[in-house]
Structures are given as C-alpha cells and as structure tokens.
Amino acid sequence: MSTSVASKTRGSGRRGSSRRWAGSAYTRRNLLTGLLFISPWLVGFLLFTLYPMISSLYTSFTEYHIRAESDWVGLLNYRQMLADPRFWKALYNTTYMVVVAVPLTLLGSFLCAVLLNLKLRGQSVYRVIYFIPSIVPVVAGSILWVWIYNTNNGLLNTALGWFGIKGPSWLTDPAWAKPALILMGLWAMGTTIVIYLSGLQDVPVSLLEAAELDGASWLQRLWHVTIPMVSPITLFNLILGVIGMFQYFTQAFIFASAQSSTAVSGGRTLGAPLDSTLFYSVYLYHKAFINLKFGYASAMAWVLFIIILICTVLLLRFSERWTYYGEEG
C-alpha cells in the first residue's frame, strides 16, 4: 500500500515539474519574442539616450577638449556655475516663465476648452481655428511674432494706436520681453486645449444634471463638478508644461537674435535685451556651442535635470490634495 502511494507521489511530482518546465519554457519564449519586437527601441534607448546621459555626466566633471583628451577637474564646473551671475539670471528668467506662463496657459486653455465644448453651430470650425496656431512651425511663428511686436510698424502697436494707446517696445524693453513671449505662447496653446476638451467630454452628464436639479448655477457646476473631474488632466498638463518651460529655447533664441545684428563670439547677442530673455537652455547652448565649454554645459544640463525631477516629484506628491480620480473600490 505504501509503495503504491509513493509511486503515485513520484508520478504526480514528475507531472508537476513537467508542467512547470513547460510553463517556464512558454514564458521564456514569450519574453524572447517580446524582447525581439522591442529590440529597435532598446537599441535606440541604449545608444541615443542612456549612453549620452552617462557620457554627459562624465563630461560634467572634466574640462572637455575636442582634439585632445579631457582633463578631470572634479566639481570645478559646478563651482564655477554657482559663482556665475549669468547662470542665476538664466535660472531666474526660466523660473519666472514657469511660475507665470504655465498657470496662465493652463487657465487660458481650460477656458477656451469650456467655450469650445458648448453646443453651438459651427463648433468644429471654431475648434479648428483654435488649433491651427499650434501646428505652425515654431521658428516661422516666432518670426511672425517678431514682426507683430515691431515697435514702429508692428501690427500690435498699430492696433493699440487706433484706441489711443501707445504700445511698448516689446522687443527692446527688458520689462516687456518676457510678457511678450508669454503672450506668444498663449497664441499656440491648441494642443493643451484639445487635451482639456477631451477631458470635458468625459465628464458624466448625470453629475451635471444632478447638480442642476439641486439648483446649482452654471458657474457652480463648473467649479464643483467640472473642474474636479478634469483635475487629473490639469495635473498632466501642468507637469508637461513645467518640463517644457524649463527647456524653453527656440522662441527666446529667435527673439534675442532679432534684437541686434552684432556678432558676438560667432553668433548673435543671446539674452537681449539686457539678458531679459536669457533662459536656462539658451545659456546652456551659448556655453556649449559658442564658448565650446562642453564640461560646463554638461554640468548645467545635469543641474537642470535635477531641478525638473524635484519639481515633478513635488507636483505628484502634492497633487493628492486636489486631484480627483473617482471613487475607489
């Protein structure tokens, strides 16, 4: 009796191990198939993302020479960066854009999305009109706005003159340079509007109808129902806006280049007027590709990476207080 029980136990053990072996072989085959399909992305990530990051981290601790071996200088680039007044000026300008431009863009995008979500005749036409500026190439759009902001014969100051208002010197006055860039950014917020519009269309109609039956006005329904329901989209747009604004470059570079035709170190004056448009990425470009201080520029890049990482983590951490994801469980 005991012999038969032992044989059955051994037989069931062999069958169980064979099933586990077959299952593991199937799992390995699926894993290899999946890795084969994503291998182009893996190769691209290793060659064009991970390797450049590691290389730039090493370069940030060196004095880079194009035609000779780099010299290890330790934290010298970081110490020079912290003692550089133009670095702090660039960081201030960039922070200004993050604090002012990003909230204004979110507010303007949300309000436009609310208007475009209304049931009106020609609704699709209005949506296309609002979205068109966002697909205009950034360089072409920036050059267009340089002409609009022209002090003497620009379209904006001409229109203000019709109402008896003397327009400011948008391109040459340091007090108006960053507001001009913010206004230009509001012109091309079509992508954020579309994202908000998709979220507004997912707000349950039953909640709005229930609030209306309870006597809530349109503004109360917007504040107490619509805004909480689209709060995850607001968080998404906020994080993308902060990351993008910390890397603000093209528009500022074209604006500064339009200020002067005087060549400085092989390029136009950056940050004009009076460094009011000297943003972090612009200064990084200046150090890397005009002054050829690649070690210093790499150090700036890693400091920017750390700043963006900290801001993203803080936004995710504090978003729990105002972001609504629906009822759980």
Strand partners, 267: 264
Position 267 confidence tier, pLDDT thresholds 50, 70, 90: very low
Full DSSP string of 99-151: IIIHHHHHHHHHHHHHHHTS--TTHHHHHHHHHGGGGS-HHHHHHHHHHHT-T
Q: What is the pLDDT of residues 108-128, one digit of tens each?
A: 999 999 999 988 888 889 999
Distance of CA 58 to CAs 54, 83, 87, 198, Å?
A: 6, 21, 21, 43
**Residue 76 burial (10 A CB sphere; 0-12, 13-18, 19+):** middle
d(CA 168, CA 155): 13
Length of the chain: 329
Full DSSP string of 64-110: --SSSPPEE-TTHHHHHHHT-HHHHHHHHHHHHIIIIIHHHHHHHHH
- What would the mean pLDDT of 134-148 be, rounded to a whole number? 92
**Residue 177 burial (10 A CB sphere; 0-12, 13-18, 19+):** buried
Topology of domain 76-321 in CATH is: MetI-like fold (1.10.3720)
Q: What is the pLDDT of residues 194-244, one digit of tens each?
A: 999 999 998 998 999 899 898 999 999 999 999 999 999 999 999 999 999
* Predicted TM-score of the model (pTM): 0.84
**pLDDT the model gives residue 274:** 83
Q: What is the pLDDT of residues 269-322, one digit of tens each?
A: 677 778 889 999 999 999 999 999 999 999 999 999 999 999 999 999 999 888
Is the pLDDT confidence value at 100 over 70? Answer: yes
**pLDDT the model gives residue 273:** 79
Report domain extents, the chain: 2-59, 76-321
